[in-house]
Structure 1
Amino acid sequence: VLNPREIKQLIEPLKKYNIGVITGVNTLFGVLVRHKDFKKLNWSKLKVAISGGMPLDKKVSDLWQSVVGKPIVQGYGLTECSPVVSAESYETSEYTGSVGKPLIGTTIKTFDQSLNELQANDIGEIGIKGPQVMGSYWHREDLNKEVFTKDGFFLSGDMGYLDEHGRVFIVDRVKDMIIVSGFNVYPCDVEQVLNQHPDVEESACVGIDHKVSGQSVKAFVVKKPGSILDKHTLIEHCKEHLTHYKIPRKIEWIESLPKSNVGKILKRKLTQ
């Protein structure tokens, strides 16, 4: 079993085999495609690269496609859903930001805080109904009442929306949402902008207490090696792409972001 943290070890079998399918999370794809030996690999047999577990960053996706010649497609799922509920077609030709359409037999809706069903393009909590959805949490009737609607939709804890074509877009986790002066700020939106700066390797945003606005955005940023990027320049970059309440009020440089064994960013460790 390969350790995804050991990128050199991971690349060795990729040199040996012309793989047809590769799956991973955004951070893994990002580290892989930036590795010095990545461009030496043969991707001629690759049929599809699939990302899940966390939002796929457009910069990572574009870089991957420029080297490999094929885009990374996204899928969405949860342990409680066995786990896949939606996926993009493997014939997708470029980054879309979507996690695709619901699988056959699966229904996805979005709900507001009062559990009213929302219309296309309205952001709410994603609810899922289908044969792959669990029946209940074992011996947790209290929790089951919280996560299932009266008509049987499992509330995922993810914020997102469906567009007019039925494609699913994930915005962020409900628990990660930051409320600034009554406005909802989704960390993923801010991180996408931060990561688009050429001197930023990766970033993660969290909410911190603010005596006036209730909360404000704090960004933890990993700079690319050798970068002399300063906080003022990065803030100015954010001002060009974000409304004022989404702009980070604090930026902390960090050598690396805490991650799980599979590469998911552990934001809870940033707030401890």
Structure 2
Amino acid sequence: MTGTAHSADAGPDPVGGEDRPWFDFYGPSVPRTIGPLAERSLGQLVSDSASHHGDAIAFSNLGGTLSFREVDELATRFAAYLQHDLGLHRGDRIVIQMPNVLQYPVAFFGALRAGLIVVNANPLYTTREMAGVFKDAEPRAIVVLANFAHKVEEVLPSTSIEHVIVTQVGDLLPQPKRTLVNLVAAKVKKMVPAYSLPDAIGFRTALAKGKAERFTDPDIGPEDVALLQYTGGTTGGAKAAVLTHGNLLSNQEQFMAQIRATLGEEKQSTIIAALPLYHVFALTVNCLGFYRFGCHTVLITNPRDIKGFVKELDKSRPDGIMLVSTLAGALLDEPSFSQIDTSSMRLTVAGGMAVRTSVAERWKDTVGTDIIEGYGLTEASPVVSVNPTHIPPRVGTIGVPLPSTDVCIMDDDQNQVPVGTAGELAVRGPQVMRGYWNNEEETRRVLTSDGWLLTGDIAVIDEDGFFQIVDRKKEIIVASGFNVYPGEIEDAAMMHPLVAEAGAIPIPDERAGEVPKLFVVRRDESLTEEALKSFLKQRLTGYKRPRVVEFIDEMPKNNVGKVLRRVLREREAAAQ
């Protein structure tokens, strides 16, 4: 590897020939390095936060609240139950499978406090996906929302799971609301399919049993594993990133360094957690970073209910929100969103996918604040870089690296490329995972001997040190020998006022080898393929223009709203 990496620790950087530290974009209130961690474990973070913030509201959901002190007490009870009643030991795996409800942080923090390793499972997993994750992680226990317990029943016989803890959506709400919410979910809305798990125990029963036990501190440190976070990885195929307490503690500290300066501490800030906590972005930022900072986090259980989401925004008057570009677009398309008062909103951070320029501009016009775009991946706990919050964001970029983070752009031989040249983004820092669970071959493929994580994302760096993601390495379209990045085509299409969503994939072509095909969800049926192609002709050079445009009713996306080009490719293959 040659050249000098661009680093938050590197001091003066020669990029652009200017003898000045590019990290000064963050301003004097953000350090270049994060320094020693204040806590040794995430369990200690919870107890320290309870000491600092006490009876202030930590989380709210469906009209119920938990203070910092209550979260600490309930997490300790749950930890004691896991240790003494279930006999779980340090390093055992426990699955948590639920959306954003008050039980999530209690179960998550309690499991970590007991020294267990948490395995997050998407509630929308199919039984096949669940079986694959459970076989790989070999968990001894699972905490599952009753709505999804029927799937646990189906896969349970083929797993290592010994203990099932079932919770209902309203379990931590006060009475009589608890009974009413659970009754409506199960009997009125029919949201809980029938299941039979005779040996399962209720979450509230577990907390009651834990209250009678004495918690035993397992003395967890920063090198202990906290999380197996399943991901498609940098080269495809589901695998689990092994994230330690130190990885997650470091990343929330890195990310929050500038957020503290933006929000200030004169009052408690209210933050919307619209992305699921089982996704590592919301987990690190909302459940850890904003929690430690003392914010009130509003958990949104179903962000797809846009009208209900807007009502919650109107009610809570948040200071900030974490989302993805597609969710921001959905809010902007909801007429009632423009009618609510968003003057309190000082911070909007987007991750998970590139922010569309059209969405960023509409958000600024409607809300009055900029969308701050960042970048991360599961293997980096996840945040790597972000646009500084005290200056106008450079739309289309992922900002500059976080404190204590090295980032560089490499060619296929892992040599650093010149400024302005596209190459693979590589990351090094305290947030980078230990490796993949039980997968040494894939670990060696993405972690170099000198500690660089090869992300699989193609990026360029400008002369100021700002990075821009061009696309995924494996999703490049090679047309007549030229690299075409699907994201560029999608961005151009999204600029058309009648395009709601766009996804580009390669299709075979006898002459060019590959050419782009564009799938589009229209805002209005009047948009034709010819009109869109004519629009793109003004914005894309010849080999980048989609040869075919297909209109579809719904764009396939993952749980955080990222377009699943893999599904589009499968759809195309099936049609041939």
TM-score bracket for this pair, using the shorter chain length = over 0.9
2:477 counterpart of 1:153: no
For residues 8-61 of structure 1, the C-alpha deviation after alignment (integer angstroms, 9 at most, x for no partner) is 121121110110110111100001011110111221111110111011000000
TM-score, normalised by the number of residues in structure 2: 0.46
Q: Distance in 2 between matches of 1:146 and 1:59?
A: 37
Partner of 1:268: 566
SS in 2 for 1:216: strand
Q: Distance in 1 between matches of 2:392 and 2:419?
A: 24
For residues 229-267 of structure 1, the C-alpha deviation after alignment (integer angstroms, 9 at most, x for no partner) is 111111111111111000000100011101122212111
Q: How does 1:31-46 map to 2 (within 5 A)?
A: 31-46=330-345
Equivalent pair of 1:4/1:261 in contact (CA under 8 Å) = no
What are structure 1's unaligned runs of at least 5 residues?
A: none
Partner of 1:91: 390
SS in 2 for 1:37: helix
Structure 2 residue corresponding to 1:10, chosen from 291, 303, 309: 309
1:175 CA displacement: 1.5
Q: Distance in 1 between matches of 2:453 and 2:468?
A: 17
1:109 CA displacement: 0.3
Partner of 1:242: 540
TM-score, normalised by the number of residues in structure 1: 0.96
Structure 2 residue corresponding to 1:63, chosen from 362, 383, 390: 362
1:176 CA displacement: 1.4
Partner of 1:258: 556
**Residue type at the aligned position of 2:477:** I
Larger strand proportion, structure 1 or 2?
1
Q: How does 1:132-211 map to 2 (within 5 A)?
A: 132-211=431-510
1:96 CA displacement: 2.2
2:521 counterpart of 1:215: no
Equivalent pair of 1:76/1:85 in contact (CA under 8 Å) = yes
2:427 counterpart of 1:128: yes
Structure 2 residue corresponding to 1:228, chosen from 521, 526, 531: 526
SS in 2 for 1:14: helix
Write out the 4+ residue segments of structure 1 that deviate beyond 6 Å after TM superposition: none
Structure 1 residue corresponding to 2:319, chosen from 17, 20, 26: 20
Larger helix proportion, structure 1 or 2?
2
**Residue type at the aligned position of 1:191:** E
SS in 2 for 1:271: helix
1:95 CA displacement: 4.9
1:94 CA displacement: 4.8
Percent identity at matched positions? 39
SS in 1 for 2:359: helix
